[in-house]
Chains A and B, each alone.
Chain A
Amino acid sequence: MLFAALRDMQWRKRRLIIAVVSTALIFGMTLVMTGLANGFGVEARNTVDSLGVDTFVVKDGAAGPFLGSTPFPDVDLAKIAASPGVVAAAPLGCVGTIMKDGSSTRNVTAFGAPERGPGMPHVSEGRVPSTPDEAAASSTLGRHIGDTLQIGAHTLRVVGIVPNSTALAKIPNIFLTTQGLQQVAYNGQPMVTSIGVVGKPRQLPGGYQTYDRAGAVKDLVRPLKVAVTSITIVAVLLWVVAALIVGSVVYLSALERVRDFAVFKAIGTRSRSIMAGLALQALIVALLAALLGILLAQLLGPLFPMIVAIPGGAYVLLPAVAVAIGLLASLAGLRRVVAVDPALAFGGP
Chain B
Amino acid sequence: MGDLSIQNLVVEYSSGGYALRPINGLNLDVTAGSLVILLGPSGCGKTTLLSCLGGILRPKSGAIKFDEVDVTSLEGGALANYRRDKVGIIFQAFNLVPSLTALENVMVPMCEAGMSRRAARKRAEELLDRVNLGERMKHRPGDLSGGQQQRVAVARAIALDPPLILADEPTAHLDFIQVEEVLRLIRELADGGRVVVVATHDARMLPMADRVVEMTPDFTETTKPPETVEVKAGEVLFEQCTMGDLIYVVSKGEFELVHELSVGGEELVKVAGPGDYFGEIGVLFHMPRAATARARTDATVVGYTAPVFRERLGAGGVRDLIEHRKLATE
- A residues with a Cβ closer than 8 A to B are 1, 3-4, 7-8, 10-12, 259-260, 263-270, 273, 342-343, 345-349
Contact = CB atoms under 8 A, between A and B. Distances in A.
B92 interface: yes
B168 interface: yes
A4 B95 contact: no
Secondary structure at the A interface, as helix, strand, loop or mixed, is helix
Contact of B92 (A1, A343, A346): A346
List of 9 A-B pairs having minimum Cβ-Cβ separation, nearest first: A268-B84, A11-B99, A268-B83, A349-B93, A263-B95, A8-B99, A7-B99, A342-B56, A269-B112
Contacts of B95: 259, 263, 345
A260 B91 CA distance: 12
B269 interface: no
Contacts of A346: 47, 50-51, 56, 91-92, 168
Contacts of B108: 1, 4, 264, 267, 269
A270 B85 CA distance: 12
B69 interface: no
Contacts of A11: 98-99
A278 to B, nearest CB: 13
B83 A347 contact: no
B117 interface: yes
B53 to A, nearest CB: 12
Nearest to A263: B95
Given A7-B99, A342-B56, 20 more contacts: A3-B107, A3-B117, A4-B108, A8-B97, A10-B99, A259-B95, A263-B91, A264-B97, A265-B56, A266-B54, A266-B89, A266-B91, A268-B80, A268-B81, A268-B85, A269-B108, A346-B47, A346-B50, A346-B51, A347-B92
Contacts of B172: 348
Contacts of B112: 1, 264, 267-270, 273
Contacts of A342: 56, 83
Given A11-B98, A263-B91, A268 B109 contact: yes
Nearest to A2: B111
B183 interface: no
A253 B50 CA distance: 29
Given A343-B51, A348-B92, A263 B111 contact: no
11 contacts: A265-B80, A265-B83, A266-B54, A267-B83, A267-B109, A268-B80, A269-B84, A270-B80, A345-B95, A347-B93, A349-B173
A3 B104 contact: yes
Nearest to A273: B112
B74 to A, nearest CB: 12
Contacts of A264: 97, 108, 112
A343 B50 CA distance: 10
Interface in B210-241: none
Contacts of B83: 265-268, 342
B20 to A, nearest CB: 15
A39 to B, nearest CB: 45
Nearest to A342: B56
Interface string B20-60: 00000000000000000000000000010011001011000
Nearest to B140: A11
Nearest to A5: B99
Contacts of B50: 346
Contacts of A4: 97, 99-100, 104, 108
Nearest to A271: B80
A272 B100 CA distance: 20
B89 A7 contact: no
Contacts of B87: 268
A296 B85 CA distance: 49
B175 to A, nearest CB: 16
B156 interface: yes
Interface-central residue, B51, B99, B117, by most chain A CB under 10 Å: B99
Contacts of B82: 268
Interface string B86-128: 0111011101011110001001110111000100000000000
A274 B98 CA distance: 16
Nearest to A260: B97
Contacts of B54: 266
Contacts of A263: 91, 95, 97
B316 interface: no
Contacts of B264: none
Contacts of B98: 11, 260
B104 A7 contact: yes
A343 to B, nearest CB: 5
A4 B87 CA distance: 21
B173 to A, nearest CB: 8
Given A4-B104, A267-B109, A348 B99 contact: no
Given A346-B50, A346-B51, A7 B56 contact: no
A228 B63 CA distance: 68
B90 to A, nearest CB: 10
Nearest to A264: B108
A66 B147 CA distance: 83
B77 interface: yes
B155 to A, nearest CB: 12
Contacts of B93: 347-349
Contacts of B91: 263, 266, 345-346
A184 to B, nearest CB: 72
Contacts of B173: 349
Nearest to A261: B97
A157 B32 CA distance: 106
Interface-central residue, A8, A10, A346, A347, by most chain B CB under 10 Å: A346
A349 B169 CA distance: 12
Contacts of A349: 93, 173
A143 B53 CA distance: 87
B85 A347 contact: no
Contacts of A3: 104, 107, 111, 117
A269 B117 contact: no
Interface string B122-148: 000000000000000000000000000
Contacts of B107: 3
A346 B95 CA distance: 9
Contact of A7 (B47, B100, B156): B100
